[in-house]
Amino acid sequence: MTNISPASSTTFARPASAPDADQIVRPGEDRAAAPRREGDRVELSNRARIIAQLRDLPAVRTEVVDRVRGEIAAGRYITDDRVDLAIDALVEELRFDAPGRA
């Protein structure tokens, strides 16, 4: 193991980056009087705000589930209009997935 260099007492660590000039407090200066940089700011887009609100919603909307269960039990959930919508959506999906279509 001759490729290991000996520890030296003359090796000094140095900071990864130098401080900004406005952060240096010189001898005799008051730290409170030293100029300060503005703090960081975060600006959220409307989209980010909406996503944050959506995260606060419950995972399952129990009132909708309960309503649909009641409609199914009463025989009112499957209507001709809903069947027609489902068929139309299926036909569109099959058209889109057909070979040669993009």
**pTM of this structure:** 0.32
Q: Write down the pLDDT at residue 71.
A: 94
Does residue 46 carry a pLDDT above 70? yes
Over residues 29-37, mean pLDDT: 64
Q: Write down the pLDDT at residue 73.
A: 95
Residue ranges in 1-102 assigned as alpha helix (H): 46-55, 62-74, 80-97
C-alpha torsion sign, points 81, 83, 89, 94:
negative
Does residue 34 carry a pLDDT above 60? no
Contacts of residue 34, Cβ cutoff 8 Å, sequence gap at least 6:
22, 23, 24, 25
